[in-house]
């Protein structure tokens, strides 16, 4: 059972514990301390959460994304703090991503000599000690963040997302047809993925979120490549929503609020009502809303992909394109380029390639190989792509251990590609495995 996140971190004890690559989970002598992967954690005084107090000095990763949770093999805890001096002695580390659960960072932490990029996922600044961060580090924070202008952060080079500037298109050099849904200015991100999920609970289900359910949906969006369309489908076709047995009028009212963030206009609602009377299914209507400019703009304001590229020109859901788009997210960690997406989707649709072959094209592409991901990050991305989830500790340690013992990345790739889980994913998207 996952322990509840507490409001702030308690004092941490700096402990240096090194695990050999691929080592399995083990409990330290003190019951308040344990290791999970490369990390060492210490329980807070009340035992409800943990603080990251050490990292395997043998890890040579250049980029690390810290987990929001840690497990001792029995319980799963939220990670709410980083202890004194953690990551300060790891010279290979260049980039680190700090999850939104972190509420405090101890003295001298994150001050490695080459650690020059820190990505904060929390819009609320955690408390920090002294001599935190490399003096030349850039700390990237979400737009509309609070607390990063506090005195403790005065010496830190904080860069809000909004300061990167608007992606403005020059109509003179790149004319667009507004009817095609292309804005000349990239919408400003004013909310978080968590806010987006909370909004779906409120608007679609008519209630506040439950913590575990919300955390699961946020994880799917942030780590598993779910688009806004995927999340909306999950809510609008959930048993809870379907059990409402809404009349057409009430159903359309919720769609307008969900996808357009407004009440229905009479002409538009009458048109959708007529279409449903003529035989359009609820899925057909939802696809029409997903393909709209208003939905794309709404999703962009929360920093999430709308999923409109999963809808074909006639408004029907294109699962094959969705499969290809998902690989761009789970493997390469970016949104697809239009030409590349269309090329992969066409090959899958014509069955000239299988899902495994396309995935291999991503994982062994120059773009992926040039990123020089660690074994741990490689395995994590395989989990997200082939199993549709984040890794469990035992499985993660086993796969990383195999790589350390001489298995090739291609061996491990096919171990995931031949899984039952990936076979089910391919069947769901209507492609050959």
Nearest 10 degrees: CA dihedral of 306, 311, 316, 319?
-100
Burial of 167 (0-12, 13-18, 19+ CB in 10 A): exposed
Please give the Cα distance from 249 to 12 (Å, whole number): 56
How many CB atoms lie under 10 A from the CB of residue 190?
13
The pLDDT value recorded for residue 31 is 52
pLDDT of residue 164 exceeding 80, the answer is no
- One domain for residues 260 and 358: no
SS3 93: coil
Q: Please indicate whether residue 377 or residue 155 has the higher confidence score (pLDDT).
A: 377
- Is 326 a member of any domain? no
> In this structure, are residues 87 and 59 in contact, taking their beta carbons and an 8 Å threshold?
no
Token pair recorded at residue 83: 């202890």
The pLDDT value recorded for residue 326 is 81
How many CB atoms lie under 10 A from the CB of residue 65?
18
Q: Please indicate whether residue 213 or residue 5 has the higher confidence score (pLDDT).
A: 213
Burial of 38 (0-12, 13-18, 19+ CB in 10 A): buried
- Is 65 a member of any domain? yes
- One domain for residues 206 and 151: no
The pLDDT value recorded for residue 184 is 40
- One domain for residues 114 and 68: yes
Q: Where are any strands of DSSP class E within 14-136?
A: 33-36, 39-43, 49-55, 63-65, 69-71, 76-82, 95-98, 104-105, 117-120, 127-128
Which CATH number do you get for residue 308?
Answer: 1.10.3130.20
> In this structure, are residues 309 and 341 in contact, taking their beta carbons and an 8 Å threshold?
yes
- Is 13 a member of any domain? no
The pLDDT value recorded for residue 311 is 56
Tens of pLDDT along 350-380?
888 999 999 999 999 999 999 999 999 999 9
- One domain for residues 360 and 245: no
- Is 370 a member of any domain? yes
Please give the Cα distance from 351 to 22 (Å, whole number): 38
Average pLDDT of span 172-194 = 54
The pLDDT value recorded for residue 145 is 67
Poorest-confidence range of 235-249, 299-313, 349-363? 299-313
Tens of pLDDT along 379-419?
999 998 898 888 889 999 999 999 999 999 999 999 999 99
Cα-based distances in Å from 223 to 136, 304, 381 = 29, 12, 9
* 309 band by pLDDT with thresholds 50, 70 and 90: low
Please give the Cα distance from 16 to 238 (Å, whole number): 46
- One domain for residues 147 and 52: yes
| Nearest by Cα to 215 from 42, 344, 357, 390 | 390
Q: Whole-angstrom distance between the N-terminal and C-terminal Cα of the chain? A: 35
Average pLDDT of span 217-227 = 82
Question: Bridge partners of 8?
Answer: none
- Is 9 a member of any domain? no
- Is 16 a member of any domain? no
- One domain for residues 377 and 266: no
Rg (CA), the chain: 23
Q: Within 13 Å, how many C-alpha atoms sit on residue 251's CB side?
A: 20
How many CB atoms lie under 10 A from the CB of residue 288?
19
Residues 6 or more apart in contact with residue 210 via CB below 8 angstroms: none
DSSP for 173-228, please give it: TS---GGGT--SSPPP--S-HHHHHHHHIIIIISSPPPHHHHHHHHHHHHHS---H
Please give the Cα distance from 163 to 178 (Å, whole number): 27
- DSSP-derived secondary structure letter, 111: -
Please give the Cα distance from 168 to 161 (Å, whole number): 16
- One domain for residues 110 and 155: yes
Instruction: Tell me the longest C-alpha to C-alpha distance in the chain.
Output: 70
- One domain for residues 69 and 160: yes
Please give the Cα distance from 28 to 35 (Å, whole number): 7
* 168 band by pLDDT with thresholds 50, 70 and 90: very low
| Nearest by Cα to 325 from 236, 391, 226, 431 | 226
pLDDT of residue 161 exceeding 60, the answer is yes
Number of domains, the chain: 3
The pLDDT value recorded for residue 286 is 83
Which CATH number do you get for residue 137?
Answer: 3.80.10
Q: Within 13 Å, how many C-alpha atoms sit on residue 219's CB side?
A: 15
* 188 band by pLDDT with thresholds 50, 70 and 90: confident
- One domain for residues 155 and 194: no
- Is 412 a member of any domain? yes
pLDDT of residue 16 exceeding 50, the answer is no
- One domain for residues 69 and 140: yes
Question: Bridge partners of 120?
Answer: 98
Pairing of strands 39-43, 33-36: antiparallel
Per the structure, the complete domain to which residue 129 belongs is given by 33-164
Q: Output the average pLDDT for the chain.
A: 78
Token pair recorded at residue 305: 């992909």
- One domain for residues 159 and 193: no
pTM equals 0.37
The pLDDT value recorded for residue 242 is 78
* 144 band by pLDDT with thresholds 50, 70 and 90: low
Helix (H), strand (E) at residue 313: none
- Is 177 a member of any domain? no
> In this structure, are residues 201 and 209 in contact, taking their beta carbons and an 8 Å threshold?
yes
Tens of pLDDT along 24-80?
333 333 458 888 888 898 988 777 888 989 888 777 677 888 888 888 878 888 888
For residue 27, report the phi and psi dihedrals to the nearest 5 degrees: -95, 135
């Amino acid at each position: 059972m996952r322990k509840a996140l507490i409001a702030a971190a308690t004092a941490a004890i700096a402990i240096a514990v090194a695990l050999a690559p691929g080592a399995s989970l083990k409990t330290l002598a003190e019951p308040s301390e344990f290791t999970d992967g490369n990390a060492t954690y210490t329980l807070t005084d009340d035992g409800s959460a943990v603080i990251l107090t050490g990292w395997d000095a043998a890890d040579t990763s250049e980029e690390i994304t810290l987990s929001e949770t840690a497990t001792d093999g029995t319980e799963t805890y939220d990670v709410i703090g980083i202890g004194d001096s953690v990551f300060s002695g790891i010279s290979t580390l260049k980039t680190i991503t700090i999850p939104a659960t972190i509420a405090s960072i101890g003295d001298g932490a994150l001050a490695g000599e080459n650690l020059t990029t820190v990505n904060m996922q929390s819009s609320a600044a955690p408390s920090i000690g002294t001599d935190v961060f490399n003096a030349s580090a850039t700390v990237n924070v979400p737009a509309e963040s609070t607390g990063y202008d506090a005195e403790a952060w005065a010496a830190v080079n904080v860069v809000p997302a909004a300061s990167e500037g608007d992606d403005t298109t020059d109509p003179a050099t790149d004319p667009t047809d507004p009817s095609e849904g292309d804005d000349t200015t990239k919408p400003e991100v004013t909310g978080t993925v968590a806010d987006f999920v909370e909004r779906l609970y409120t608007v679609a289900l008519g209630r506040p979120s439950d913590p575990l359910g919300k955390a699961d949906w946020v994880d799917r969006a942030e780590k598993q490549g779910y688009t806004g369309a995927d999340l909306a489908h999950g809510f609008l076709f959930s048993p809870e929503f379907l059990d409402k047995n809404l009349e057409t009028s009430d159903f359309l009212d919720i769609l307008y609020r969900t996808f357009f963030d407004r009440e229905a206009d009479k002409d538009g609602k009458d048109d959708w009502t007529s279409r449903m009377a003529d035989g359009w299914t609820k899925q057909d209507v939802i696809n029409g809303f997903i393909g709209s400019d208003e939905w794309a703009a709404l999703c962009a304001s929360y920093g999430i992909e709308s999923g409109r590229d999963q809808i074909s020109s006639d408004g029907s859901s294109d699962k094959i394109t969705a499969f290809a788009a998902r690989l761009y997210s789970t493997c390469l960690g970016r949104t697809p380029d239009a030409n590349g997406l269309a090329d992969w989707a066409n090959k899958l649709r014509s069955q000239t390639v299988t899902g495994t072959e396309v995935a291999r094209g991503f994982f062994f592409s120059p773009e992926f190989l040039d990123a020089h991901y660690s074994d741990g990050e490689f395995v994590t991305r395989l989990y997200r792509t082939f199993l549709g989830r984040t890794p469990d500790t035992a499985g993660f340690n086993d796969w990383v251990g195999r790589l350390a013992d001489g298995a090739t990345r291609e061996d491990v790739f096919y171990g995931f590609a031949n899984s039952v889980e990936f076979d089910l994913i391919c069947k769901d998207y209507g492609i050959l495995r």
